[in-house]
Structure 1
Amino acid sequence: MTYKAIIFDLDGTLVNSIYDIADAMNTVLKQRNYPTFDYDTYKTFVGHGVKRLIEEAIPQNHLSDTLVNACLSEMMHTYSESCTNKTKPYDGILSLLNSLHDQGVKLSVLSNKEDTLTKKVVRALLPQCLNPVLGLKEEALKKPNPKVALQICSALNVTPEETIYVGDSNVDMQTAKRANMKAVGVSWGFRDKKELVEAGADYILHKPMDLLKIL
Structure 2
Amino acid sequence: MKAIVFDLDGTLIDSAPDLHAAANRMLGDLGRPPLTLERVAGFVGNGVPALVARCLDATGGPADDFDSALARFRKHYARAPAQLTRPYAGVEPTLERLAASGVALGICTNKPPEFAVTILKELGLMRFVGALVGEGTVPQLKPDPAPLLHCLDRLGADETSALYVGDSEIDAETAFRAKVPFALFSGGYLRESVDAFEPVYVFDHFDDLSDYVLQGVGRR
Same fold (TM over 0.5): yes
1:179 aligns with 2:148: no
1:154 maps onto 2:153 in alignment:
yes
Task: Tell me if the contact between 1:51 and 1:68 (Cα under 8 Å) persists in the aligned partners.
Answer: no
Q: Say yes or no: does 1:212 pair with 2:189.
A: no
Q: Which runs of 5+ in 2 are unaligned?
A: 214-220
User: CA offset at residue 168 of structure 1?
Assistant: 0.6
Letter in 2 for 1:136: E
CA distance 1:59–1:158, shift in 2 (3 Å): closer
How far apart, CA to CA, are the structure 2 residues paired with 1:131 and 1:139? Answer: 17
Inter-partner Cα distance in structure 2 for 1:191 and 1:70: 30
Measure how far apart 1:214 and its partner are: 2.7
Runs of 4+ in 1 over 4 A off after TM superposition: none
Partner of 2:8: 10
Q: Secondary structure at the match of 2:149?
A: helix
Corresponding position of 2:108: 110
Alpha carbon RMSD of aligned pairs, Å?
A: 1.7
More helix by share: 1
Deviates more, 1:133-142 or 1:3-12: 133-142
Given the alignment of the two structures, is residue 71 of structure 1 paired with residue 69 of structure 2, yes or no? Answer: yes
Are residue 134 (structure 1) and residue 133 (structure 2) matched?
yes
Per-residue CA distance 1:143-192 (angstroms, 9 max, x = gap): 01111211122222212121100001000011111111111110110115
SS of residue paired to 2:199: coil
- Do 1:94 and 1:127's aligned partners in 2 also have CA atoms closer than 8 Å? no
Q: Residue 101 of structure 1 corresponds to which residue in structure 2?
A: 99
Inter-CA distance 37–12: structure 2 relative to 1 (3 Å threshold): same
Question: After superposition, what is the alpha-carbon deviation per residue over 1:45-71, rounded to whole angstroms, capped at 9, x for unaligned?
Answer: 11000111111111465415x522111
Q: For the Cα contact (< 8 Å) 2:132–2:151, is it kept in 1?
A: no
Do the aligned residues in 2 keep the contact of 1:174 with 1:200 (CA within 8 Å)?
no
Aligned pairs for 1:50-69 within 5 A: 50-59=48-57, 62-63=61-62, 67-69=65-67
Distance 1:127 1:79 in 2: 19
